[in-house]
Structures are given as structure tokens and as C-alpha cells.
Amino acid sequence: MQYTLLILLLPLLSFVVLGLMDTKWKARVAGSVGTLVLSVVAALSYYTAWAYFSTANVGGIYQKIVPLQTVWMQFSGQLHIDLGILLDPISVMMLVVISTVSLMVHIYSLAYMKGEKGFERYYAFLSLFTFSMLGLVVATNIFQMYIFWELVGVSSYLLIGFYYTKPEAVAASKKAFIVTRFADLGFLIGILILSFYTQTFDFGVLNSGNAGIFASASGVTFMGASVLSWAMALIFIGGAGKSAMFPLHIWLPDAMEGPTPVSALIHAATMVVAGVYLVARLFPVYVTYTPDVLHGIAYVGAFTSLFAAVIACTQTDIKRVLAFSTISQIGYMMVGLGVSGYGGHEGTGYMASMFHLFTHAMFKALLFLGAGSVIHAVHSNEMQKMGGLRKYMPVTHLVFLIGCLAIAGIFPLSGFFSKDEILAATYMYSTGLGIGMSFIAGLTAFYMFRLYFNIFWGKENSYEHSPHESPLAMTIPLVVLAFFSFFGGLIPFGKFVTSDGAAYTGETNYVLAIVSVLIGITGILLAAAMYRKKTMLPDRVSQSLGFIYQLARNKFYVDELYLFITKNVFFKGMASPVSWYDRHVVNGSVNGLAVVTQWVSVKIKGIQTGKVQQYAWVFLLGTLLMAFLILFL
Amino acid sequence: MGSILENFTSGIIPMEAYIFVSFIMFFSGIYGFLSRKSLLMVLISIELILNSADINFAVFNRYLYPEHFEGFFFAMFTIAISACETAVAIAIVINIYRNLNNVEVDSLDELKEPEASDEK
Amino acid sequence: MAEQIIFYILAAIIAVFSVMAVTSTRLIRSALYLLFVLLATAGLYLLLGYHYLFAVQTAVYAGGIMVLFIFAILLTQKPGERITPEPLKQRVLAIVLSVAGIAFCGHIVYYNFNRVYSFVKEAELPTKQLGMTLMGTEKFQYLLPFESISILLLACIVGAIMIARKR
């Protein structure tokens, strides 16, 4: 299966070519090339998936296949960094998800980004992102993953800051980069600790279940926790940064400054689930050696999920609502992983989490692209400027409805199945957490339909020019993604992706399923009552909640807290003294050296008269003196 | 000095006599080089210095290692090199004369930083 | 004995004309004195038995280089022009340094040349042998320096023309 290398190399090639050509090619050519390459990649990914799932099953267990493995940098006998391709159920699943969503975004952007300045650059960056993300998921070792992890961060930065003339976009891109980079510091330290004790980077070795490699870490503790827990927790911090877990979530809402298709690709479907993927990748280590960390992950996920859902109920920028919804859903996935055990029935959470990742990628990409279609028509992100669009944009309306129903978890759409599995796993772990997650599911349904009704129903605005349906290049990806969102849940996911590789058929908990659907419908009805027609109800509700509403509307002031801490503590307390030291002591000493040298040179330059005979004088006198000294002393 | 006088009448020209002649020539050159202002005088002085070196080469070769030719060839090559040097130097002197209308050594200090008050 | 006399005559010529060459106030005379010194040096080579070197010295130095000097002097000096004497201080200092140098070197020679070197009077060096040595590539043979010198000469010809041509 060495052709899988092409899946990586083609987007890279596309990036290099498009990047070098830049504006030398017409926008249409650049877009077509990028899209064409991506469709080849998608086809290869589908073929890989088919080939993998039909051949790799040995004795009921999906094997890990490493078609390629090379040593990239050899530092010493043990310390070497490898590059390779690892195929196992989750990486193959991710290949399919990434290439599908990326292809859809490529096609969609042909119309959405038409006429933008820097169209070619946009496609080059999309290719770079796709390359990095694919490289991340097929990484055979944690260091390779880290490399691509950073590449993903860079391409995300480039794409968020695509409209680099807008100050908000520049600020958002910097924020995203710095916050995730900060989290990656934890990731790197975690990698170093882990590999220091296990003497390996390789996922195959780490996940082999061989307790011997962790032996040297046993009994080593640091500040009351075992060193392995520290390592895994730090690695999770890296994942939390990319996946926007509380309190590192602040960059994701701002990242919506990027073009909408980029939000769909990076900040909904692929990059933000990298953290989930990372935890899933090291799941055997987490579950076997550091279950406490895993439980922590579950609670972080649950809290983030609730937190983001509450904020999402109050936002008015439709992309921000979707962004907070994304954070909330990723929290779901984290919970799913966190409550999971290893293998069989115990491993439901793992399977459900991966399942939710898959379905979420589809319907959230759909929702973002749908929102992009709406923005394309209305030229605004604000809910107030929308309303009654269902008449003007029938296709967008229909697919958006499918997306909302899917995320709300209504039978038989895809979200129902995956979310229901997560809820089942959560109830198995703890009833309290389960009830909380069910509540969040209700909130999800509420805010999604608040969004839906505000855009497509509600009062009808008087538009300057009547909105129209988007072109085919935008609606076709929407329809394709709607198809996946609708029927995706029917895939028997347990047969393909489980924690131990063995197929597993989940038994449906009918009571739970019915209750979940009912909660979802309640949320929808509530939203319909409040937003379907223009009423005073929403204002009254927000006024009666008062303080809490204000808190949530301002995102619980987390951004302000960050600003306060960075400005007052870091900048004033640390950066200013360091800056002073640099400016006065470091610069001062170097400048002082230069000043002294200059002074001395001015003083002694009189010696250099430019008169040859004086030089000869000195030279001869010196020669005589030297000879004298040598002979007589 | 005494041995030179002693050998004055004997049949062999002592080596020191040659060396002493070359010394006189050499230090005359040094004197000219240090004291004269005309570039051409400086060149003449350099020729004297080179010539005295040639004599030394030849004398040492002849007296100490008569079976070899190193000194001989060195002297010969030095003559060739001094021919080169003189040719180029005189070309330069003529060029300078064209530009400055004199051939004084002291007027050739253009490369030196001028005594401008550009001190900060 | 004849050689003795010839040597001392030559030595006297060299000593006197060297000093006169560097002290004269007329350039053309200086050049002439230099010519005498160079010819006397050629005579010393003859005494030493280096006939070929004598020829080279006469042809290249006394012939070629002197012509260059004379041309240069004629090009840059007005007829009959005298050089204004240099400051006395400068001259005295140079004399002191030169005399000190002679004393110093004479001291070295006097106290270190205590071996008796006998000048083995041979027949003149066969020119054929010199030619073979100059053109050979063996040890103690000089083809490579010879070629280097020829390249240097070429470079000097080109360089001198380039520098001196009118722009």
C-alpha cells in the first residue's frame, strides 16, 4: 500500500506549484488545479479505506499497517526521528473525513472565493493545510505527529489571516497561533518526558500493551503525581489547545475572521479534532497507565461542552454560534474518550467518540458551508440582518435544516447515532455526568434552531437587493455533505473503528434513545416558540436572566481575563523588565563596545599619516630592534 | 675590520669584503628611501637595495656552496622581478605625474582620512 | 693580485657612487651614478666567475631599467631642474639610522665570520650546464620558477601599459 505516500505528496506538490506560480496563473487555473489534485487525493483515500477495511482484518482484529517507514534524522543509536505512514482504523477514517471535507471545501471555494484578491494563494494554503493534516493523521510516531501538528498550526494561521488587510483577521490569526503554540509547549514537554522514560517515539511500541517499556517510569513521581500522568496530561494540553478545550478555547471564535470555507475545513471538521485524534491515538496508554488523566479529560470535555453551549445561546454572529457549537461538540468527543474503557462493551465511548468525530465533521462542515452560502447572499454575519431567507434560498435552507437536525440528534440523522452512543457510554460511567450531557444535548438543539429560525424564518428584512440562491459550485458540496449528514449514521461504525480493533456491535438503549430525541425536540420547540415569529419573548427571557445573560453574551469574560493577565502580569511583571534588561544592559554593552572602539579609533588614527616614508621608518626601526633583541638578548 | 685589512694583501679576496660592499650599497639605498622626496629617487634607492641583495646571493653561493646554483638563480630571478617592478612603478609614476603634476611622495596621502571634523 | 686591485677599485666605485646616487640633487645624475653602481656590480659578478649573471646584469639592469629611468626622468622633470633639498632633520635622521644599520650588520659579520672560506677558483661556469639547470624539472632545477617569472613579466607588460596609457 505504498501508494498512500501519494496522498501526502500530491497536496504538497500542489502547494509548491500553486505557491510558486502565485498570480502567474489565472485564478481559474489555480483553483482547478487545486481541486483536481484534491479529487485525486480523495479518490486515493477512498480506495485506501476500501482496501484497508477489506484486507487488514486478521482474525477479527484490524491490524496496524505501516506501508512506509524511514529514518529521517539519526542522532544516536536510540534517538532517531522517523517518518512513515501508519494505517489503522482511525487514521484511515480520518483520511476519508479530511479528504472529503477538503474536496468539498475546494469545490465550494471556487464559487465562494471567486474574484477575491489572493485566490491563488488561498488555494496554495488550502493544499498546504490538507497536506499537513493528512500527514498528522498518518504519523507513525509522536514526533512526526508533532511536526505536522505545527505545520497544521502554521497553515491555520495563514488561512485565518488570509484577509491580512483587516486588523481583526491579523489579530485573530496571531491569537490562534500564539494560544495553540502555547499549548504545544505542553505537548512538546509531554513528548520529551514520555520518550525519555519509554525510549521511543513510535506509536506502535507505545500502544503495543507491553508494560516493559513503561517500567522505568513506574514509581517516579513529581509533585504528587506519577511522571507518566504528567506526561500524558501535558500531551493532552497540546490536544486541548488545538481542540479549543476550556480554558484554551479563546482562539477558535476569533478564528472565524478567516474565510468561511476555511472555518468549515479547519475550525469545524479537521484541525480542531486533532486533539481528539491525539487522545484517541494514545488511548491505550491513557486507559492502561493513566486512567486518572483520562477521567480528567472527560470532565474538562464536559465542562467545555456546557460552557460553550451556554455561550452559543447568546451570540448573534452566526459563525460564532457555529464556532461555540463546535467547541461544545468537541467537548462531547472528549467526554466520549474520557469515559471509555478498553475493548468490547467497555470501549463504547471510544467508538462513539470516533463516530461522532466522523458525523460531526460532515454536518458541521455542512453547517459552516451553509452559513457561508447565507453570508454570500446577505453580505453579513449578523443574525439581525437575516430572516425569512427560506423563500430565497431553498437549497441552502433544506441542507441547513438537515445539518441542524443532525446536530440536534434527531432520529434517523447521523448525529442521533453518534451522540446517542456517547450518552450511553457516559451513563455507563456516571449517571450525573450523563444527565449533564443530556442537558447539553437539549441546549445544542435549542441554540442550533435559534440560529436556524433566525436565519430562515423570523421577521423578513428589507434587503437592499434580494438574496439569491448560491451557484452550483456551492450547492453541490452542500448537497453532498447533507447526504453524508443524513445517512452517515447508518454506517455500522463499531464494525470498523473500536478501541482494540475487534468489531463490536453496540446494543441500542431504547429508553435513552427516546429520551434523547425528546430532549432534542423540546429544545427545537422552545427555539421555535421564541424565534419562529418575531416576538418579545427572547428579550423578556434575556432580561429576566439578566446577569447570567450578560455573562454568557460576553463569553464569561474569559478573553478579558486573559488580556488582564497578559497585560498586567506578563507584560508588566516579566516582559517589561526583560525588555529593559535587553535594551539597556545587553544592547548597552554592545553599543558601549562600539562607542569605545570608535573613540579609540578616532584617537589613534593620527598615527596613520598616509606618508609612506614614515611607515618605512617605523618598519626599519622595528626590524633593527627585533634583530638587536634576538642577537643580544 | 682587522681581518679585512689583514687580508688586503693576501691572494684571496675575503668574503667579508664583498659583504661590506653590499652593506654600503644597501644602507645608501635605505638612506635614499627614507630621506628623498622624489618618487624617482625612491625608486633608485629601491634598485640599490635590490642590487645589494643580489650581490649577497651570488657571493654566498660562490663562497659557501660552489657546487650549487641556488644563489645564482635567485639573483637572476631577482633581476627579472626588479625589472618588472621598475616597469610598473615607472608607469605609476608617469600616471601620478599626469594627475598631480609632480612626483613628490608626500603628496600621495589621498587614501588617508582627511582631517575633517566628523567626530561625533 | 690583479683581482685584488680590480675588486678594490670596483668596491670603491660602488661605495662612492651609491652614496652619490642617493644624495645628488639632480635626478639625471642620480640615474647616471646608479648606472655606474650597477655596472660595477656586474664587474663583481665577473670576478666571482658568474659570467652569465654578468651578462644579465649588464643587459637587463644597466640596459633596460636604466633606459626606463631616464625616460621617466625626462618625462617628469624640466631640463636642468634641481630637487629642493629635503629638511636637514629628515636627512640627519636617515643618516643616523643607516650608519647604525651598517654598524650593527658589520658587528654581526665581524664576529660571526670566523671560518676561513676559500674561494675555489674554477673555470667559468659552463653555460650549457646553467641552461640545463634552468630548464630542468629535477631537484635543484628551475623550470617552474622560470615559467612563473615569464608569466610575471607578461603581467607586468600588460599592467604597465594599462597604467600608463592615456585615458
Taking the CA of residue C80 and the nearest CA in chain B, the distance in Å comes to 15
**Cβ atoms < 10 Å from Cβ of C55:** 14
The confidence score (pLDDT) of residue C151 equals 92
The confidence score (pLDDT) of residue B53 equals 93
Question: Would the CB atoms of C19 and B15 count as touching at under 8 Å?
Answer: no
How would residue A463 be classed by pLDDT, with cut points 50, 70 and 90?
Answer: low
The confidence score (pLDDT) of residue A462 equals 64
Question: Would the CB atoms of A620 and C108 count as touching at under 8 Å?
Answer: no
Cell output for B61: 653561493
A residues 602-621 closer than 8 Å to B (CB) = 602, 605, 608-613, 616-617, 620
Plot region of A63 (φ>0 → left; ψ -120 to 50 → alpha; else → beta): beta
Residues of chain C in contact with residue A617, where contact means CB-CB under 8 angstroms, are: 93, 97
Question: Would the CB atoms of C44 and B63 count as touching at under 8 Å?
Answer: no
pLDDT, tens digit, 9 for 90 and up, residues A291-338: 888 888 888 999 999 888 888 888 888 888 888 899 998 888 888 888
**Closest to B45 measured CA to CA, from C31, C42, A611:** C31
Q: Is A597 on the interface with B (CB under 8 A)?
A: no
Nearest beta carbon to residue B119 from set A602, A613, A617? A602
The amino acid sitting at A587 is: N
Q: Supply the DSSP symbol for A67.
A: E
> How many angstroms separate the CA atoms of A518 and A202, rounded?
45
> How many angstroms separate the CA atoms of C20 and A442, rounded?
118
Mean pLDDT of A423-430: 84
Nearest beta carbon to residue A631 from set C97, C100, C108? C108
Question: Would the CB atoms of C38 and B51 count as touching at under 8 Å?
Answer: yes
The confidence score (pLDDT) of residue B120 equals 40
Tens digits of pLDDT across chain C (167 residues) = 677 888 889 999 999 999 999 998 888 899 999 999 999 999 999 888 888 899 999 998 888 899 989 988 888 888 777 878 888 888 898 899 899 889 888 888 888 765 555 555 555 678 888 888 888 888 888 899 899 999 999 999 898 888 878 76
Taking the CA of residue C146 and the nearest CA in chain B, the distance in Å comes to 8
**pTM for this entry:** 0.66
Residues of chain B in contact with residue A622, where contact means CB-CB under 8 angstroms, are: none
Among chain C residues, CA nearest to B106: C86
Q: Is A620 on the interface with C (CB under 8 A)?
A: yes
ipTM of the complex: 0.88
Question: Would the CB atoms of B113 and A605 count as touching at under 8 Å?
Answer: yes
Q: Is B79 on the interface with A (CB under 8 A)?
A: no
Cβ atoms of A252 and A193 closer than 8 Å: no
Cell output for C11: 668596491
Name the percent of chain A lying above pLDDT 70: 97
> How many angstroms separate the CA atoms of A626 and A613, rounded?
20
The confidence score (pLDDT) of residue B7 equals 56
The confidence score (pLDDT) of residue A87 equals 87
Taking the CA of residue C57 and the nearest CA in chain A, the distance in Å comes to 27
Residues of chain B in contact with residue C99, where contact means CB-CB under 8 angstroms, are: 27
Question: Would the CB atoms of B105 and A611 count as touching at under 8 Å?
Answer: yes
Cis preceding-peptide flag for A247 (omega within 30 of 0): yes
Q: Yes or no: is domain B2-107 CATH 2.40.37.10?
A: no
Question: Would the CB atoms of A613 and B111 count as touching at under 8 Å?
Answer: no
Assess whether pLDDT exceeds 80 at residue A426: yes
Residue with cell 653555460: C127
* Average pLDDT of every residue of chain A: 84
Domain boundary assignment for chain B: 2-107
Question: Would the CB atoms of B81 and C149 count as touching at under 8 Å?
Answer: yes
In a 3-state reduction of DSSP, which class is residue A534?
Answer: coil
Tell the burial category of A278 from Cβ atoms under 10 Å away from its Cβ (0-12, 13-18, 19+).
buried
Cβ atoms of C97 and A620 closer than 8 Å: yes
Name the percent of chain B lying above pLDDT 70: 82
The confidence score (pLDDT) of residue A43 equals 92
**Closest to B84 measured CA to CA, from C134, C39, C52, C64:** C64
Assess whether pLDDT exceeds 70 at residue B112: no
> How many angstroms separate the CA atoms of B99 and A363, rounded?
86
Interacting residues of A522 by C-beta distance below 8 A, sequence separation 6+: A442, A445
Question: Would the CB atoms of C104 and A621 count as touching at under 8 Å?
Answer: no
Residue with cell 470498523: A496
